[in-house]
């Protein structure tokens, strides 16, 4: 992954792939009955049957999407601050951000280990915990409402900024085309104008892809999180009803559809998959982590 954006997308793909694999394993892995009275029995109950193994991939996926959105937001809206931030140790900073996505996701959902217990006859049953209502409401805010609100603001502001940039580039390109070759200065103004326009198009393409991913996130996550919030606020919600099970299926679907969105909308993702499976050589136009200068490449990958 040669760009910071691609690195976050790669991390997103890994999270979604692992989550999809665990979903498939949930239906095929046989459970011992009764559960053994040892450490393995504890793991079966508190890690596997509690769905902790699935949930820890859902929430990091949300935080990684948030990190990816903010990375593009600062690159487009605050490009100079963005360059200064990643001027030193860009790989380390990206890696730390990815690690934080995983750590935060696991930490937020760690309470699910405590809501089940293994009985003396080897069964895994749910049990009440003190402060469950507060934990439930706080969880909804941390894993859904706050990330969704931040991403919504970022996409709106980024959209406005891209329109401003397009308005600035348009007149410049028009003026550049009206100048005759005899009057054109010796400098590389025209190539620079073309690079600026290409950079803007590349940014808009990435923005559109991420906007589709964000819209999919809202569609897949909103029903489940709204019902869960209503339950914690006192509404009667039957977790065995079909409509609640459908919301769980939508959340699971979110992990499966993201790679297809990237494959359909993002050319660099398709190129990366081709290189990974066909052992192709990386493009000479790829950008390393520490170089986002548009004048150093002809095919702008941002």
The band of 192, judged by pLDDT with boundaries at 50, 70 and 90, is low
* Burial degree of 11 (CB within 10 A; 0-12, 13-18, 19+): buried
pTM of the model: 0.78
Q: What is the CA radius of gyration of the chain?
A: 24
For residue 205, pLDDT over 80 is answered with no
Lookup: tokens for 53:
């193994």
What's the CA gap between 218 and 214, in Å, rounded? 6
pLDDT of residue 215: 93
What's the CA gap between 207 and 158, in Å, rounded? 8
How far, in whole angstroms, is CA 21 from its chain's centroid?
18
Question: Would the CA dihedral through 278, 282, 283, 288 be positive or negative?
Answer: positive
The predicted model gives 222-239 an average pLDDT of 89
The predicted model gives 271-299 an average pLDDT of 49
Mean pLDDT computed over every residue of the chain: 80
More confident position, 218 or 274: 218
The band of 46, judged by pLDDT with boundaries at 50, 70 and 90, is very high
pLDDT of residue 197: 66
Residues of the chain above pLDDT 90, percent: 30
For residue 272, pLDDT over 90 is answered with no
Between β-strands 116-118 and 124-126, what pairing exists: parallel, antiparallel or unpaired? antiparallel
The predicted model gives 177-197 an average pLDDT of 52
What's the CA gap between 257 and 265, in Å, rounded? 12
* Lowest-confidence pick of 33-37, 133-137, 265-269: 265-269
Q: What length does the chain have? A: 302
The predicted model gives 106-113 an average pLDDT of 91
In order of 77, 215, 295, the CA distances from 199 in angstroms are 14, 24, 10
Lookup: tokens for 113:
């280990």
Question: Would the CA dihedral through 214, 217, 219, 224 be positive or negative?
Answer: negative
Lookup: tokens for 186:
């010796």
The band of 156, judged by pLDDT with boundaries at 50, 70 and 90, is very high
The band of 241, judged by pLDDT with boundaries at 50, 70 and 90, is confident
* Lowest-confidence pick of 48-57, 60-69, 98-107: 48-57
For residue 287, pLDDT over 80 is answered with no
* Lowest-confidence pick of 15-19, 92-96, 149-153, 292-296: 292-296
């Amino acid at each position: 992954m040669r760009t910071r954006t691609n690195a976050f997308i790669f991390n997103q793909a890994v999270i979604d792939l692992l989550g999809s694999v665990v979903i498939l394993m949930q239906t095929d892995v046989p459970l011992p009955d009764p559960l053994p009275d040892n450490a393995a029995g504890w793991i079966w109950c508190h890690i596997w049957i509690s769905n902790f193994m699935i949930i820890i991939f859902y929430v990091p996926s949300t935080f990684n999407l948030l990190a990816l959105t903010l990375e593009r937001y600062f690159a487009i809206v605050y490009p100079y601050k963005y360059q200064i931030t990643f001027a030193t140790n860009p790989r380390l900073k990206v890696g730390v951000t990815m690690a934080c996505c995983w750590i935060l996701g696991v930490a937020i959902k760690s309470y699910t280990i405590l809501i089940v217990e293994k009985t003396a006859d080897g069964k895994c049953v749910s049990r009440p915990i003190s402060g469950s209502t507060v934990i439930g409401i706080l969880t909804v805010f941390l894993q859904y409402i706050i990330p969704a609100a931040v991403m919504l603001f970022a996409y709106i502001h980024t959209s406005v900024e891209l329109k401003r940039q397009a308005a600035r580039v348009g007149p410049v390109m028009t003026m550049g085309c009206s100048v005759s070759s005899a009057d054109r200065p010796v400098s590389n103004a025209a190539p620079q104008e073309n690079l600026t326009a290409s950079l803007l198009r590349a940014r808009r393409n990435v923005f559109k892809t991420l906007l589709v991913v964000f819209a999919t996130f809202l569609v897949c996550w909103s029903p489940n999180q709204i019902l869960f919030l209503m339950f914690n606020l006192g509404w009667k919600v039957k977790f065995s009803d079909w409509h609640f099970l459908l919301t769980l299926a939508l959340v699971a679907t979110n992990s499966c559809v993201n790679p297809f969105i990237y494959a359909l909308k993002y050319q660099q993702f398709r190129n990366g998959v081709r290189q990974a499976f066909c052992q192709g050589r990386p493009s000479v136009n790829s950008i390393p982590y520490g170089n986002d200068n548009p004048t150093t490449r002809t095919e702008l990958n941002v």
